[in-house]
Amino acid sequence: MIWILGAGVFFVGIHLLIAGTRVRDRLVDRIGEGAYVGLFSLLSFVGIWWLCAAWARSAVAAPWWDWTALRPVVWVLMFVAFQLAAVGLTTPSPTSAGGDKLLESDEPARGILRITRHPFLWGVALWGLCHLLVNPDGPAFLFFGAFTALALLGPRSIDAKRARKHGEAWTRFAAKTSNLPFAAIAGGRNRIVVSELGWWRVALGVALYVAFLVWLHPWLFTASAL
pLDDT tens readout for residues 129-153: 999 998 878 888 999 999 999 999 9
pLDDT tens readout for residues 90-143: 999 888 877 778 888 878 889 999 999 999 999 999 999 999 998 878 888 999
> Which residues, 6+ apart, have CB-to-CB distance to 20 below 8 Å?
154, 156, 157, 158, 159, 160, 161
How far CA 88 is from CA of 104, 155, 198, in Å, comes to 20, 14, 11
pLDDT at 95: 85
Q: How far apart are CA 20 and CA 180, in angstroms?
A: 19
**Cα 215 to the chain's mean position, in Å?**
23
On the question of pLDDT at 215 being above 90, the answer is no
pLDDT at 70: 85
pLDDT tens readout for residues 34-89: 898 899 999 999 999 999 999 888 777 777 777 778 888 999 999 999 999 999 99
How far CA 2 is from CA of 8, 14, 27, 216, 224, in Å, comes to 10, 18, 30, 30, 28
pTM, to two decimals? 0.90
pLDDT at 222: 74
pLDDT at 42: 94
- Of 108, 116, 110, the closest CA to residue 85 belongs to 116
